[in-house]
């Protein structure tokens, strides 16, 4: 197999320019490159072509991973050394035709595939990009003065094939090289490039690839004063990229928020029209002076993405946007909730740092329409978010509305999950039991809030349920590994110890006071108090404890209290270090019962001590 690949690539490399420029040869060559690198068959399409929608979603998601990094982990059974040798040979043979290859559609696709497959290999990328940008020496791209090539690159950006290629270069380039491109080549020309129908995508890639606040400030200095012009030119993607990057890097958020508001409102219009204008962005920019809220028109995809980014900002930066959303009437809010993009805007608002009072104003405008909203696939997620963020009475109102339309909702695939999640079937059969379960959850949350002071320390924009939701499997594994390391270290520096049966006369006054305080505060978590002693490796595990189990005395009158040197007792004590997160504690307190296996694992240290 390796010999066949080697022979094929040698033949292609000898006539690289013609093969790359052929519509058929380009496709075959891209497939061979992917197979040579070890790309699985089901992932070949990801390297052949790039979907604009996928690129936009990646850039506005706020992720910091470099494109191609995830794909590198899935490469297998390839010939990476042969791939590197072939790429260098191909570029060497086609060196005299590089200027043609950069602007020809089929050859540009080949070069884009080569760059994506080389992502993560900085040495190879430096060499490839140096050749493509006009330097034929190895590993010198990051050291050259890019201002020499500025006029040439800016002129070539008007070509579609070259602009797509430069997007990929910016996405995969090593950090030092990318910084030099920003400072040297494109500095001073960002607005001109952004105004072009092809070049604006390169600027979006540059903004999304910014890694530091300083880089973002340099971009803002050029583009910030021109936000209104960019919107009027139809380059909303550049503005959306700036909004997402400012939130990701936590810089210039107030400036972009005010600039966007000023760009889409005028002195003759009320200030609360900003959200409506963004929701129908393209429609508003076309009609502007005579624009009115349209009925039956799909909302702007980019406008909705921009509002989702805005509602992630701290509350002090987005007051005018919150006020504008709340100024919309009931029918307009309902229209937003039924739109695929609009429903996500409302979800973002419910997760924002806006006050609960303001969020309940949106709930009130949606009340009576939750069943209707849940019939839409995107609307079902909004209903679930409303349920999560509301109080008990509103939760029951939502479930009542869903119950009234249960038959219709049961016929849709997306609503079945919603009905199960909100336990609508139990509410229809045993409403009292449903209310008791919801009341129990809310009581548990309030007790934890009171115990741990979450009212003052709650993260901005995070709902109560998100605070108390169980950790993801990945986070649980990390927490377990951390606990295991701590336990191993403790075991290596302390002696093993069995439990002692203490009589009434032997028990210390300190232990007696601990028992009394525990009985007075049955719902508190005394093992979080830091008394300077080690916690048990057997008790504070990832397994939840029964909610009904309080810190009470054993029924047979025995008490298990470790002495001052104890480091291994599995029972709850006041003087254990606080190492569990609040989310884990909520999960522990929220489980009604344990399985037999969980009970055996929990009591294993005690059984071992008795056996000894």
Whether the predicted pLDDT of 43 surpasses 80? no
Percent of the chain at pLDDT > 70 equals: 65
**Helix H or strand E segment including 395:** helix 392-404
Residue (of 228, 158, 162, 253) closest to 199 by Cα position:
158
Confidence (pLDDT) at 45: 67
- Structure confidence by residue, pLDDT tens digits, 470-529: 444 444 444 544 444 444 444 444 443 433 444 444 434 433 333 343 333 333 333 333
Show the beta-strand stretches assigned E in 394-461: none
Q: What backbone phi and psi angles, to 5 degrees, belong to 502?
A: -100, 135
- Say if pTM beats, i.e. exceeds, 0.85: no
Instruction: Tell me the pLDDT band of 4, cut-offs 50, 70 and 90.
Output: confident
Helix (H) or strand (E) holding 416: helix 413-421
- pLDDT for 317 equals 93
For residue 22, pLDDT over 70 is answered with yes
pLDDT at site 47: 66
**How large is the average pLDDT for residues 381-408?**
91
Higher-pLDDT residue of 160 and 71 is 160
Between 117 and 456, name the one with better pLDDT: 117
SS3 state of residue 196: coil
Give the list of residues 6+ apart from residue 170 with CB closer than 8 angstroms, or none: 178, 181, 202, 205, 206, 209
What distance in Å separates the CA atoms of residue 38 and residue 63, rounded to the nearest whole number?
Answer: 26
Residue 168 parent element (H or E): helix 160-172
DSSP structure string for 275-335: HHHHHTHHHHHHHGGG----SS-PPPHHHHHHHHHHTTS-GGG-HHHHHHHHTS-HHHHHH
Q: What integer pLDDT is reported at residue 583 of this predicted model?
A: 52
Q: What is the pLDDT of residues 164-220, one digit of tens each?
A: 999 999 889 888 888 877 767 788 889 999 998 888 999 999 999 888 899 899 999
Packing angle, helices 319-326 and 356-366, rounded to 10:
30
Q: Which of 95-109, 189-203, 362-376, 504-518 has the lowest mean pLDDT?
A: 504-518
| 167 close to 132: Cβ distance less than 8 angstroms | no
**Residues 389 and 422 sit within 8 Å (Cβ to Cβ):** no
Classify 177 as helix, strand or coil: helix
Query: Chain-wide mean pLDDT for the chain?
Result: 75
502, β-bridge pairs: 559
| 8 A C-beta contact, residue 275 and residue 311 | no
Residue 544 confidence class, pLDDT cut points 50, 70, 90: very low
Burial readout 491-515 (b: 16 or more C-beta within 10 A, e: otherwise): eeeeeeeebeebeeeeeeeebeebb
Residue 115 has pLDDT above 80, yes or no: yes
Residue 342 is given by DSSP the state H
Q: Are 166 and 201 in contact (CB under 8 A)?
A: no
* Better-predicted residue by pLDDT, 590 or 566: 590
- Backbone φ and ψ for 391, nearest 5 degrees, come out as -90, -175
Q: Coil, strand or helix: which one is 576?
A: strand
Range from 152-166, 291-305, 533-547 that averages highest in pLDDT: 291-305
What's residue 49's pLDDT? 62
Residues in the chain: 612
Give the mean model confidence (pLDDT) for residues 360-377. 91
List the chain domain ranges. Answer: 1-209, 210-366, 499-551+558-611
Phi and psi angles of residue 533, each rounded to the nearest 5 degrees, phi first: -105, 160
What is the mean predicted confidence (pLDDT) over 67-84?
66
Q: What is the pLDDT of residue 321?
A: 95
* Overall average pLDDT of the 63-72 stretch: 48
Phi/psi class of residue 77: alpha, beta or left (left: φ > 0; alpha: ψ in -120 to 50)?
left
| Residue 93 reports pLDDT greater than 80 | yes
Q: What is the dihedral of CA 528, 532, 538, 539, to 10 degrees?
A: -20
Contact between 572 and 519 under an 8 Å Cβ cutoff? The reply is no
Confidence at residue 73, expressed as pLDDT on a 0 to 100 scale:
47
Please compute, for residue 49, the number of CA atoms within 13 A of its CA located in the half-sphere on the CB side: 6
Q: For residues 391 and 462, what is the distance between their CA atoms, to the nearest angstrom? A: 15
Contact 148, 159 (CB under 8 A): no
CA dist list (Å): 528 to 117, 156, 517, 576:
50, 63, 14, 6
pLDDT above 60 (res 432): yes
* Under 8 Å between Cβ of 333 and 374: no
Residue 555 confidence class, pLDDT cut points 50, 70, 90 = very low
């Amino acid at each position: 197999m390796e010999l066949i690949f080697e022979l094929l690539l040698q033949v292609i490399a000898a006539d690289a320019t013609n093969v790359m420029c052929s519509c058929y040869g380009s496709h075959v060559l891209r497939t061979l490159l992917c197979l040579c690198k070890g790309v699985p068959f089901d992932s070949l399409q990801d390297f052949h072509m790039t979907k604009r929608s996928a690129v936009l979603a990646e850039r506005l998601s706020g992720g910091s991973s470099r494109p191609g990094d995830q794909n590198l982990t899935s490469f297998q059974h390839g010939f990476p050394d042969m791939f590197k040798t072939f790429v260098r040979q191909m570029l060497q043979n086609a060196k005299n035709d590089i200027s043609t290859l950069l602007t020809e559609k089929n050859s540009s696709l080949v070069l884009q595939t080569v760059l994506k497959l080389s992502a993560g290999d900085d040495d190879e990328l430096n060499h490839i990009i140096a050749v493509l940008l006009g330097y034929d020496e190895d590993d010198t791209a990051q050291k050259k003065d890019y201002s020499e090539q500025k006029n040439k690159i800016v002129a070539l950006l008007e070509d579609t094939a070259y602009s797509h290629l430069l997007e990929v270069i910016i996405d995969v380039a090593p950090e030092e090289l990318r910084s030099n491109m920003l400072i040297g080549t494109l500095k001073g020309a960002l607005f001109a490039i952004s105004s072009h129908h092809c070049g604006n995508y390169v600027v979006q890639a540059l903004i999304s690839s910014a890694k530091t606040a300083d880089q973002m400030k340099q971009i803002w200095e050029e583009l910030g004063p021109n936000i209104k012009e960019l919107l009027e030119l139809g380059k909303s993607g550049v503005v959306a990229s700036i909004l997402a990057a400012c939130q990701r890097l936590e810089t210039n958020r107030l400036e972009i928020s005010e600039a966007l508001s000023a760009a889409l409102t005028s002195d003759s219009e009320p200030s609360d029209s900003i959200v409506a204008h963004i929701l129908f962005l393209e429609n508003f920019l076309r009609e502007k002076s005579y624009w009115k809220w349209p009925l039956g028109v799909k909302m702007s995809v980019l406008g909705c993405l921009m509002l989702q980014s805005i509602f992630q900002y701290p509350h002090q930066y987005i007051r005018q946007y919150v006020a504008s959303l709340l100024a919309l009437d009931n029918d307009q809010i309902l229209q937003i909730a039924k739109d695929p993009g609009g429903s996500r805007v409302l979800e973002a608002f419910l997760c924002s740092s806006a006050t609960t009072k303001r969020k309940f104003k949106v709930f009130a405008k949606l009340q009576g329409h939750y069943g209707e909203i849940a019939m839409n696939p995107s609307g079902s997620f909004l209903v679930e978010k409303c349920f999560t963020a509301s109080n008990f009475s509103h939760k029951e109102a939502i479930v009542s509305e869903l119950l009234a339309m249960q038959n219709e909702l049961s016929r849709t695939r997306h609503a079945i999950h919603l009905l199960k999640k909100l336990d609508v079937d139990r509410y229809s059969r045993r409403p009292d039991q449903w209310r008791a379960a919801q009341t129990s959850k809310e009581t548990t949350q309030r007790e934890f809030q009171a115990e741990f002071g979450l009212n003052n320390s709650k993260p901005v924009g995070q709902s109560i349920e998100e605070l108390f939701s169980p950790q993801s499997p990945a986070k649980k594994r990390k927490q377990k590994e951390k606990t295991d390391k701590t336990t191993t270290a403790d075991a290596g520096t302390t002696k093993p110890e069995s439990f002692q049966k203490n009589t009434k006369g032997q028990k210390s006054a300190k232990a007696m006071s601990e028992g009394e305080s525990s009985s007075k505060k049955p719902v508190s978590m005394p093992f979080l108090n830091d008394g300077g002693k080690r916690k048990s490796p057997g008790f504070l595990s990832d397994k939840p404890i029964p909610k009904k189990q309080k810190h009470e005395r054993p029924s047979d009158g025995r008490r298990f209290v470790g002495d001052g040197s104890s480091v291994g007792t599995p029972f709850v004590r006041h003087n254990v270090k606080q190492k569990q997160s609040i989310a884990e504690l909520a999960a522990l307190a929220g489980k009604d019962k344990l399985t037999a296996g969980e009970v055996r694992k929990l009591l294993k240290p005690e059984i071992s001590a008795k056996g000894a």
